[in-house]
C-alpha cells in the first residue's frame, strides 16, 4: 500500500509540476506584458492564489469543477459524470503552484540583463532563438533556487489531495495503520519516504544549478 501510495504521490507531483511550470511561464509573460489587460489578469491570478490557503483552494477548485461538469452534462441531457480525483488533483495543484512559479519566473526574467537581449535582436536573432539561446539559460540560473523550494512545497502539498479521495502516500499510510493498529509506525514510514524523495530532489537541483552556473565564477562549486 505504501509503495502504491508513493507512486501515486510521485505521479501527481510530477504532472502538477509540469502544469505549474507552463502556467508560471505564461503568467510571468503576462505580468511583464505591455498590455494592461494581460498584466491585470496575471496580477489577479497570483494575488488570489497566494492570498487563499491551499486547502481552501483545493476544495473550491475541485467542487467547482465537479459542479461545472454536472451543469454541462445536465444541459446536454447526459448522465452524472464524476471527475477523476487524480486529474482533479493535478489541475488543482498545477493551478495553485503556477502562481508561485509565475513570480519565480518573473523575477528571474527581470534579472537577465536587458542589453543582452537587445544585442541578440541587433544580431538578427528571432524571438524563439533569443529565448532559447539567451533568455532561458540565464533565467534558469536565477530561477532554480526558487524552483527547488516551490517543488518541495508542492511535493508536500500532495498530501492535501487525500481530502478529495485520492489514495496518495499519506492516505495509504493512514489506511495501513488503521488496518494494523500501527498508525504511528506507518506515518513515520511515510515521513521517511518524503525525506528520501526531498533529499534526492535537492541533489538533482544542485546538479542543475552547477550545470546552469557553468562559466560563472564562484557559482560552480
pTM: 0.83
**What nine digits make up the cell of 8?**
501515486
Q: 20 near 94, Cβ under 8 Å?
A: yes
Residue 152 lies in a domain: yes
What's the pLDDT at 215? 62
At 139 the three-state DSSP class reads helix
pLDDT, residue 217, reads 57
Is 156 a member of any domain? Answer: yes
Structural domain of residue 201, as residue ranges? 2-212
Give the CATH number of the domain where residue 181 resides: 1.10.3720.10
Nearest to 17 by CA among 150, 213, 208: 150
Residue 38 lies in a domain: yes
Burial of 37: CB neighbours in 10 Å, binned 0-12, 13-18, 19+: exposed
Task: Give a yes or no: residue 166 inside a domain.
Answer: yes
For residue 94, the number of C-alpha atoms closer than 13 Å in the C-beta half-sphere is 20
From first to last of its 221 residues, the chain has per-residue pLDDT tens of 888 889 999 999 999 999 999 999 999 989 988 888 889 998 999 998 888 888 888 888 777 777 877 787 777 777 777 777 788 888 889 999 999 999 999 988 888 888 887 888 888 888 788 888 888 888 888 888 888 999 999 998 888 887 777 788 888 888 888 888 888 888 899 999 999 999 999 999 888 888 877 666 555 44
What's the number of domains the chain is made of?
A: 1
Residue 186 inside a domain? The answer is: yes
Domain membership of residue 218 (yes or no) is: no
- Cα separation, 2 vs 12, whole angstroms: 15
- For residues 108 and 27, what is the distance between their CA atoms, to the nearest angstrom? 13
Residue 219 in domain: no
Instruction: Calculate ∠ Cα 93-194-166, nearest 5°.
Output: 45
Instruction: Please indicate, yes or no, if residue 183 is contained in any of the structural domains.
Output: yes
For every residue of 41-84, DSSP letters joined together read: HHHHHHHHHHHS-HHHHHHHHHHHHHHHHHHHHHHHT----PPP
Amino acid at each position: 500500500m505504501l509503495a502504491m501510495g508513493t507512486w501515486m504521490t510521485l505521479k501527481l507531483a510530477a504532472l502538477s509540476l509540469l502544469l505549474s511550470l507552463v502556467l508560471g511561464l505564461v503568467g510571468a509573460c503576462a505580468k511583464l506584458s505591455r498590455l494592461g489587460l494581460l498584466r491585470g489578469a496575471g496580477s489577479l491570478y497570483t494575488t488570489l492564489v497566494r492570498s487563499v490557503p491551499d486547502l481552501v483552494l483545493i476544495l473550491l477548485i475541485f467542487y467547482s469543477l465537479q459542479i461545472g461538469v454536472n451543469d454541462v452534462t445536465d444541459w446536454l441531457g447526459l448522465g452524472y459524470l464524476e471527475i477523476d480525483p487524480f486529474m482533479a488533483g493535478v489541475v488543482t495543484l498545477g493551478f495553485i503552484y503556477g502562481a508561485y512559479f509565475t513570480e519565480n519566473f518573473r523575477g528571474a526574467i527581470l534579472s537577465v540583463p536587458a542589453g543582452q537581449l537587445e544585442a541578440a535582436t541587433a544580431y538578427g536573432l528571432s524571438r524563439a532563438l533569443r529565448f532559447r539561446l539567451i533568455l532561458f539559460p540565464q533565467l534558469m540560473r536565477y530561477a532554480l533556487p526558487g524552483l527547488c523550494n516551490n517543488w518541495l512545497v508542492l511535493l508536500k502539498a500532495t498530501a492535501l489531495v487525500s481530502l478529495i479521495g485520492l489514495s496518495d502516500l499519506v492516505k495509504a499510510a493512514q489506511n495501513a495503520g488503521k488496518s494494523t493498529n500501527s498508525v504511528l509506525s506507518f506515518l513515520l514510514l511515510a515521513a521517511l519516504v518524503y525525506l528520501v524523495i526531498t533529499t534526492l530532489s535537492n541533489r538533482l537541483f544542485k546538479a542543475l544549478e552547477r550545470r546552469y552556473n557553468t562559466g560563472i565564477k564562484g557559482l560552480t562549486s
